[in-house]
Copies of this chain bind each other. A is one copy, B any other.
Amino acid sequence: MAARKATREREREGDDLSPAHPLERLIFFSDAVFAIAITLLVIEVRPPHLPFHTSDRDQLVSLINLTPSFTAFFISFFVVGAFWAGHHRAFSLSKHWSPKLLFPNILMLCAIAFMPFATAYMGLNMGQRVPSMLYDAVLMITAILNIRLVKLATSPPVVDERADPLAIARTRARGWGVALGAAIAFALTFVFPPISQFGLMTIPIWLRLSIARAERRANATVRPS
């Protein structure tokens, strides 16, 4: 009995060490910034305020006029959601804390925190060149900062030694999907701005190609015969 209690004591002591586990806190803080940025997106869509006897038709028109802002909201919601999922995927392969994570992580979060501005600016001026370029540029920068952070989180000394090399290769490859899609959208703004955001629809293609390439490479490394 006494031994058992002592064991539990020791276990709790070990537990006590973790309240401020540095890696957990970094992940937690990042989750909170992602969650706030994603939820603030809607704040920038201003609800119309019409007099009481407005006809249904006029109400509908005022709502339809917000389509660009809604579109920008939905695009950004899934873009930020995808970056969160990528962060989630990368850090599920990590295990050790390193102070080297701090700056690249805050830099990436800064780009994410800037998204509500870029989204609102694009939503208010949909189809124009400069707002679309700014939006796509922010996306590209975020994607590049993300690629760098994912690499750090899945490399020594941060990575979990028991993590599957194929999972690491796939997770790193995913980072390129958004970067390439944003680059295409950015290029399209020079041609015809109103359709440029369709460039982001190529992201799934780049994802698939990039992951397939990573898998081929990883297999080649693991089984070099």
Kindly state the separation between the CA atoms of A20 and B25 in the bound complex, as whole angstroms.
10
Q: Interface readout for A1-27 with B: 1 if CB under 8 Å, 0 if not?
A: 000100110111111111111111111
Interface residue A213 (Cβ < 8 Å from any Cβ of B)? no
Interface residue A205 (Cβ < 8 Å from any Cβ of B)? no
| Oligomer copy total | 4
Kindly state the separation between the CA atoms of A199 and B84 in the bound complex, as whole angstroms.
35
* Cβ A25 vs Cβ B35 within 8 A: no
- Interface set, chain A 92-136, CB cutoff 8 A to B: 92, 94-96, 102, 106, 109-110, 113-114, 116-117, 120-121, 124-125, 127-131, 134
Interface residue A184 (Cβ < 8 Å from any Cβ of B)? no
Interface residue A185 (Cβ < 8 Å from any Cβ of B)? no
Interface residue A31 (Cβ < 8 Å from any Cβ of B)? yes
Size class of A's contact patch? 35 or more
* Cβ A20 vs Cβ B20 within 8 A: no
* Cβ A35 vs Cβ B38 within 8 A: no
Interface residue A39 (Cβ < 8 Å from any Cβ of B)? yes
* Cβ B33 vs Cβ A24 within 8 A: no
Q: How far is the CB of A131 from chain B (nearest CB, A)?
A: 7
A129-B59 contact given A15-B18, A23-B19, A120-B47, CB 8 Å threshold:
yes
Residue of B nearest to A4 (CB): B10
* Cβ A113 vs Cβ B15 within 8 A: no
Kindly state the separation between the CA atoms of A138 and B17 in the bound complex, as whole angstroms.
34
A88-B25 contact given A16-B95, A20-B94, A95-B17, CB 8 Å threshold:
yes
Q: How far is the CB of A99 from chain B (nearest CB, A)?
A: 8
Pick the interface stretch among A49-57, A140-148, A217-225: A49-57
Cβ–Cβ < 8 Å partners of A4 in chain B = 10
Interface residue A186 (Cβ < 8 Å from any Cβ of B)? no
20 pairs across A/B with beta carbons < 8 Å? A11-B14, A15-B21, A17-B95, A19-B23, A20-B23, A20-B95, A21-B92, A25-B88, A28-B31, A29-B34, A32-B32, A32-B35, A36-B36, A52-B125, A54-B125, A56-B129, A59-B131, A63-B134, A73-B114, A81-B109
What would 14 more interface pairs be, CB under 8 Å, given A22-B88, A56-B129?
A10-B11, A11-B11, A12-B14, A17-B160, A19-B21, A20-B24, A26-B88, A36-B39, A52-B128, A54-B125, A59-B131, A73-B114, A81-B106, A81-B109
